[in-house]
């Protein structure tokens, strides 16, 4: 087991990118508290990970240009606030990241305008079967001009699993989930962490899990292999996240600043994350 003096030294499957890591910080820490955050907190948080102030300021400028955040100044201090559109986007991602998997039916979607390969991108977890048809789990909203048949998939379970592996990159996802499980074990091996390091570990954990979970098509369970790595990864994520959160959230409350004072308390939606994570453990 790899041990480290602090979470920022842990081994990741791919290098951290400033913009993506800051998005994870906003999604895990800022979005459930609303309001805004002082850029000094972002700079201090990212420093142990080797992300410079210059990179952070460049990333924040790009997030502003992308409509994710807006900036405001108080004297010589800069603060950043999530836009309404970003809040909605972060809430949708949070429902995937922090929630237990749902048992879903399958959905066959007919797209009268064709170009199913392009339109499947707006249908979570779907793959194009032809120009007019996509197949995937019954989740998300349909395009306004589409119709669908939603039903359980009947037949030989082995055939269902073969179909799933041919249509979706489950082997690649399993490898990525296994890499995440390696990171979770590294964090567990650090033992109890003080506030700043607990927050580092938690955001790193979310960042790694988010990268895989948001690509997971969330297929119905009959399509997944036995002892599916995604199920084990979600449980490890929930256990580790909950174990880190007491110390991490106390540090946020004591150290992070909004324009009108300390960063706001967790919203009801933020508190609900913990209930959903406990549900991943069957609690």
Q: Which two tokens stand for residue 71?
A: 């900036």
Asked if residue 163 is part of any domain, the answer here is no
In this structure, the answer to whether residues 116 and 181 fall within a common structural domain is: no
Asked if residue 241 is part of any domain, the answer here is yes
In this structure, the answer to whether residues 82 and 143 fall within a common structural domain is: no
Residue 24 β-bridge partners:
none
Instruction: Write the CA distances from 196 to 163, 178, 182, 193, 256, integer angstroms.
Output: 46, 27, 22, 8, 11
The answer to whether 201 and 9 have CB atoms below 8 angstroms apart is no
In this structure, the answer to whether residues 85 and 110 fall within a common structural domain is: no
Element (H, E) at 209: helix 195-213
**Residue 11, pLDDT score:** 67
**Residue 2, pLDDT score:** 41
**Residue 13, pLDDT score:** 67
- pLDDT tens for residues 58-78? 999 999 999 999 998 888 899
In this structure, the answer to whether residues 140 and 223 fall within a common structural domain is: no
In this structure, the answer to whether residues 192 and 92 fall within a common structural domain is: yes
In this structure, the answer to whether residues 140 and 43 fall within a common structural domain is: no
In this structure, the answer to whether residues 243 and 270 fall within a common structural domain is: yes
Q: Which two tokens stand for residue 54?
A: 């210059």
Show Cβ contacts of residue 74 under 8 Å, excluding neighbours closer than 6 positions: 259
Domain of 122, in residue numbers: 106-151
Average pLDDT, the chain: 90
Question: In angstroms, rounded to a whole number, what is the distance separating the alpha carbons of residues 273 and 279?
Answer: 10
In this structure, the answer to whether residues 178 and 236 fall within a common structural domain is: yes
Asked if residue 33 is part of any domain, the answer here is yes
DSSP labels for 212-254?
HHTT-----GGGSPTT-HHHHHHHHHHHHHHHHHHHHHHHHHH
- pLDDT tens for residues 248-261? 999 999 999 998 88
Structural domain count of the chain: 2
In this structure, the answer to whether residues 206 and 239 fall within a common structural domain is: yes
Asked if residue 158 is part of any domain, the answer here is no
The answer to whether 137 and 125 have CB atoms below 8 angstroms apart is yes
In this structure, the answer to whether residues 22 and 61 fall within a common structural domain is: yes
In this structure, the answer to whether residues 92 and 69 fall within a common structural domain is: yes
* Helix/strand/coil percent split, the chain, to 5: 55, 15, 30
């Amino acid at each position: 087991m790899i041990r480290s003096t602090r979470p920022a030294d842990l081994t990741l499957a791919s290098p951290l990118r400033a913009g993506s890591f800051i998005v994870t910080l906003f999604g895990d820490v800022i979005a459930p508290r609303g309001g805004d955050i002082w850029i000094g907190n972002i700079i201090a948080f990212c420093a142990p990970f080797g992300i410079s102030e210059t990179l952070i300021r460049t990333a924040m400028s790009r997030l502003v240009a992308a409509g994710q955040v807006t900036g405001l100044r108080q004297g010589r201090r800069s603060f950043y606030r999530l836009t309404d559109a970003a809040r909605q986007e972060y809430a949708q991602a949070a429902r995937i990241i922090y929630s237990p998997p749902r048992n879903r039916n399958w959905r066959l979607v007919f797209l009268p305008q064709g170009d199913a390969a392009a339109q499947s991108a707006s249908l979570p977890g779907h793959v194009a079967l032809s120009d007019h048809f996509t197949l995937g789990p019954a989740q998300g909203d349909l395009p306004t001009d589409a119709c669908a048949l939603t039903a359980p998939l009947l037949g030989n379970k082995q055939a269902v699993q073969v179909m799933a592996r041919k249509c979706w990159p489950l082997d690649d996802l399993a490898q990525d989930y296994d890499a995440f499980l390696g990171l979770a074990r590294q964090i567990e091996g650090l033992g109890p962490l003080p506030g700043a390091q607990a927050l580092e570990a938690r955001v790193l954990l979310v960042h790694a899990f988010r990268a895989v979970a948001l690509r997971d098509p969330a297929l119905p369970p009959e399509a997944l292999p036995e002892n599916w790595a995604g199920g084990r990864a979600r449980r490890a994520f929930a256990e580790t996240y909950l174990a880190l959160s007491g110390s991490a959230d106390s540090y946020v409350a004591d150290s992070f600043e909004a324009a009108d004072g300390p960063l706001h308390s967790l919203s009801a939606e933020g508190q609900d994350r913990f209930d959903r994570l406990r549900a991943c453990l069957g609690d």
